[in-house]
Amino acid sequence: MSALLRGRGRQRRGGETQQGAANTVYCAVSPELEGLGGMYFNNCVRCPPSLEAQSDASAASLWELSERLVLQRAGAPGQ
């Protein structure tokens, strides 16, 4: 999973700051999206979520990884 995330970061390096932020800004301030959520956008165009984003196995793996990282950082409950 971390290799996947590292690869995605490489794809975005070198682009203009405005270009990199355009999708996020569009989704945050676009009047036609007000009150809507749960959608995916790429280059300011609505698109279906990837198969990986819909995978229960990937979700479980990411959840377990998140729990381990939080425990490493914060320690086990009661410590």
Q: Helices in the chain by DSSP H: which ranges?
A: 2-12, 17-29, 56-74
Q: What is the pLDDT of residue 79?
A: 62
Q: What is the pLDDT of residue 15?
A: 63
At 33 the three-state DSSP class reads: helix
State the amino acid at position 36 in one-letter form.
L
Count Cα neighbours of 68 within 13 Å in the Cβ-side half-sphere.
6
- Which residues of the chain register pLDDT less than 50? 1-2, 4-7, 9-10, 14
Q: Compute the distance between CA of residue 20 and CA of residue 8 in angstroms, rounded to an integer.
A: 13
Question: Residue 32 carries which DSSP code?
Answer: G
Q: What's the pLDDT at 14? A: 46
